[in-house]
Amino acid sequence: MKNNIGIWIDTHQAVVINLSNGDQAVKKIESHIDTKVRTPGESKKYGRFGGQYMTYEKNSENKKMEQTKQFLKILSNEIENCDAVVLFGPSIMKTIFEKEIKNDLNLIGKLVGVFDADSMTENQISAWVKDFYKK
């Protein structure tokens, strides 16, 4: 009774393919990471708080990091009960998630590979995961 998972991941979404006992389940998870946001009042290069200056750039970077952490936490919960997981996709998000998995002692032994892949349709993603686990 193997429970293998393949995750195609980029900055906007992750497609989780769960192969269990010959059955296939597909789940799309949106990241909700704001990549290009214009904050109202962002015309100045700094905001003044007492004697300190804080850039809007730093605020948006902190917001993006927090949104990324939330996205990866959701994905970590998805792979908690699997036997093996493979990551693939076009962006650097797969590498960030790989580091997150390697830092979690419960998940480190489940990662079987990280691969580069182009943008794919849902059917192509499913076929890629099936081919990977046939090997």
Percent of the chain whose predicted confidence (pLDDT) is above 90: 67
**CATH superfamily membership of 3-34+44-134:** eRF1 domain 2 (3.30.420.60)
Query: pLDDT-derived band of residue 6, with 50, 70 and 90 as boundaries?
Result: very high
Percent of the chain whose predicted confidence (pLDDT) is above 70: 84
- Domain spans of the chain? 3-34+44-134
**What pTM was computed for the model?**
0.83
Q: Which residues, in sequence order, are bridge partners of residue 95?
A: none
d(CA 88, CA 113): 8
Q: What is the mean pLDDT of residues 98-103?
A: 94
pLDDT digits (tens, 9 = 90+) for 8-44: 999 999 999 999 988 999 999 999 888 776 666 555 5
Residue type at 43 in one-letter notation: S
pLDDT exceeds cutoff 70 at 53: no
Helix (H) or strand (E) holding 20, with range, is strand 13-20
pLDDT digits (tens, 9 = 90+) for 74-100: 999 999 999 999 999 998 999 999 999
pLDDT exceeds cutoff 70 at 2: yes
Select from 116, 44, 29 the least CA-distant residue to 77: 29
Per-position b or e across 39-62, b if 16+ CB within 10 A of its CB:
eeeeeeeeeeeeeeeeebeeebee
Is the distance from CB of 5 to CB of 79 less than 8 angstroms?
A: yes
